[in-house]
Amino acid sequence: MKVLVINCGSSSLKYDLFDTVTEQSQAKGLCERVGIDGGTEALIEHEVAGKDAFEKPACMPDHTVAIKYALEALTDTDHGVIDSLDEIAAVGHRVVHGGEAFAESVVIDDEVEQAVEDFCELAPLHNPPNLLGIRACRKALPGVPQVAVFDTAFHQTMPPQAYIYALPYELYEEHRVRRYGFHGTSHRYVSLRAGEYLQEQGIAVEDHKVVTCHLGNGGSMAAVLAGKSIDTTMGMTPLEGLVMGTRCGDLDPALPLYLMDLLGQDAKQIDALMNKQSGLLGVSGVSSDMRDNQNASVEGDERAQLAVDLFCYRVRKYLGAYAASLGGLNCIVFTAGIGENDPPLRAQVVEGLQFMGVKIDESLNDTLQLHDGVARISADDSPVHVLVVKTDEELMIARDTVELLTGS
Ligand code: ADP
């Protein structure tokens, strides 16, 4: 069975065609600059597994045209991997916000499409392009089942004490103001892989106490008890929690108001300051990219070093907090761009956590040996297992899609 996975951003469309028997991607691509300048500057990059990628300019005024280009690339006589669109059995869509309505993935019908639209208010940057992708695919592939996989769904198992803000309760009841959490598909995938690993170590599922650290350009952590999320660092929006590339994460909640007065700026400007000019970029003044900050700090840039220290300290602090939430800890998982690729940062995060039973093997950490996307980096005698797991949100979306359509 072939499943097409779609991830739509405001000016981009990512696609990935999976063979769900082998769970291998057959071809994937990215349509960029969709709708910018009327789509005249757009570009499609297409890559067939095991072959060189190609890119070509295209005119993509909207996502409906972008999906047309993607489908053409997939069926192209030279670069295609399928003979006809009939081979696409289903489409799985990444949808950022599912509110409280969706604790699991769901087959899309008009009602679900309407719900995704309703949640645009909660995720104004993300749900509108996700919705465009859904509409474009329903139009281009009529009759082909479409599935929505929500970033928020995995965290719907959080108990109220973890998701209610200590604000007037009516704000929750009347306006849906609560913590939702994001990156759920990634946290779910890596915690599943960690669960398999822990079972191999003879630890029963009900005893799995795992903290997953998704450290990419955006970052979040989740406390996962027996496979279920019981807390996560992002909140009503993706701004809460960790220090990120350009986001500040946790703050004194009085600060935005103070800054509005101090700087004479309005809410939109302060929102941009916290989301786009803060985090690694704001502290270091160097870059939002972790590699640039690591390189600058090696060369003696003190603010870049401070940015990296802040980043690591925040992760370490949450590790302690989540060990308390979980009533213990037997596994830490690092994933995403930084988590998978930055050994010194992983070592810095867990430094001083020996008292909690966390002991890293430096050589395993430095010379990461992934086996089927998973590597242990903790020492043999470390009571807490520390893993690096390559995340695969697209595969998770493809799996959910198959499961919903075939029941297996
Ligand atoms: P996104 O949230 O955009 O999907 P990614 O998961 O791709 O982000 O992560 C991007 C981050 O990963 C950047 O900060 C980048 O510097 C970092 N990164 C990627 N490779 C390395 C590396 N080898 N060393 C340190 N950081 C890395």
CA of 186 to the centre of ligand 1 (A): 15
- Catalytic choice (16, 151, 342, 400): 151
Looking at the chain, which residues constitute the CATH 3.30.420.40 domain(s)?
A: 2-150, 203-393
In this prediction, residue 49 carries a pLDDT of 87
In this prediction, residue 206 carries a pLDDT of 97
In this prediction, residue 102 carries a pLDDT of 96
Evaluate whether 333 touches 212 at the Cβ level (below 8 Å). yes
Q: What are the two backbone dihedrals, phi and then psi, of residue 343, each rounded to the nearest 5 degrees?
A: -60, -45
User: Is 216's C-beta closer than 6 angstroms to any atom of ligand 1?
Assistant: yes
Nearest to 96 by CA among 121, 145, 130: 130
Using the structure block, give the residue that is written with the tokens 């060189």.
52
Nearest to 140 by CA among 72, 88, 84, 67: 67
Q: What are the two backbone dihedrals, phi and then psi, of residue 27, each rounded to the nearest 5 degrees?
A: -160, 145
CA of 142 to the centre of ligand 1 (A): 37
Burial of 245 (0-12, 13-18, 19+ CB in 10 A): buried
CA of 340 to the centre of ligand 1 (A): 8
Name residue 335's beta-bridge partners. Answer: 214
Q: What is the CATH number of domain 203-393?
A: 3.30.420.40
Task: Give the DSSP letter of residue 135.
Answer: H
In this prediction, residue 22 carries a pLDDT of 95
User: Is 245's C-beta closer than 6 angstroms to any atom of ligand 1?
Assistant: yes
Burial of 174 (0-12, 13-18, 19+ CB in 10 A): exposed
Ligand 1, residue 280: give the atom nearest the CA: 14
Rounded CA gap, 226 and 235, in Å?
22
Mutate to test the pocket of ligand 1, among 287, 341, 394 (most ligand atoms within 8 A of CB): 341
In this prediction, residue 79 carries a pLDDT of 87
Neighbours of 97 (CB within 10 A): 25
Residue whose CA is at the smallest distance from ligand 1 atom 12 = 337
SS (H, E, C) 11-66: CEEEEEEEECCCCEEEEEEEEECCCHHHHCCCEEEEEECCCCCEEEECCCCCHHHH
User: Is 217's C-beta closer than 6 angstroms to any atom of ligand 1?
Assistant: yes
Residue whose CA is at the smallest distance from ligand 1 atom 13 = 289
* Token code pair at residue 18: 């999976």
* Token code pair at residue 273: 């300051």
Which pTM does this prediction carry?
A: 0.95
DSSP, collapsed to helix, strand or coil, labels residue 100 as coil
Rounded CA gap, 319 and 370, in Å?
23
Q: Is 301 a catalytic residue?
A: no
Using the structure block, give the residue that is written with the tokens 């004490």.
161
Element housing 170 (H / E): helix 169-175
Rounded CA gap, 288 and 76, in Å?
38
Long-range contacts for 220-225 (Cβ within 8 Å, ≥24 apart)? 220/181, 220/182, 220/183, 220/187, 221/315, 221/318, 221/319, 221/322, 222/154, 222/155, 222/181, 222/183, 222/187, 222/191, 223/322, 223/325, 223/326, 224/187, 224/191, 224/194, 225/326
Residue whose CA is at the smallest distance from ligand 1 atom 21 = 341
Ligand 1, residue 294: give the atom nearest the CA: 25
In this prediction, residue 407 carries a pLDDT of 82
- The pLDDT profile of the chain, 408 residues, written as one tens digit per residue, is 999 999 998 889 999 999 999 999 999 999 999 999 999 999 999 999 888 888 999 999 999 999 999 999 999 988 899 999 999 999 999 999 999 999 999 999 999 999 999 999 888 888 999 999 999 999 999 999 999 999 999 999 999 999 999 999 999 999 999 999 999 999 999 999 999 999 999 999 999 999 999 999 999 999 999 999 999 999 999 999 999 999 999 999 999 999 999 999 999 999 999 999 999 999 999 999 999 999 999 999 999 999 999 999 999 999 999 999 999 999 999 999 999 999 999 999 999 999 999 999 999 999 999 999 999 999 999 999 999 999 999 999 999 999 999 987
Ligand 1, residue 214: give the atom nearest the CA: 6
Q: Which CATH architecture has domain 2-150?
A: 2-Layer Sandwich (3.30)
In this prediction, residue 269 carries a pLDDT of 97
Rounded CA gap, 300 and 290, in Å?
15
User: Is 342's C-beta closer than 6 angstroms to any atom of ligand 1?
Assistant: yes
> Taking the chain, what is the end-to-end CA distance rounded to the nearest angstrom?
13
Evaluate whether 130 touches 109 at the Cβ level (below 8 Å). no
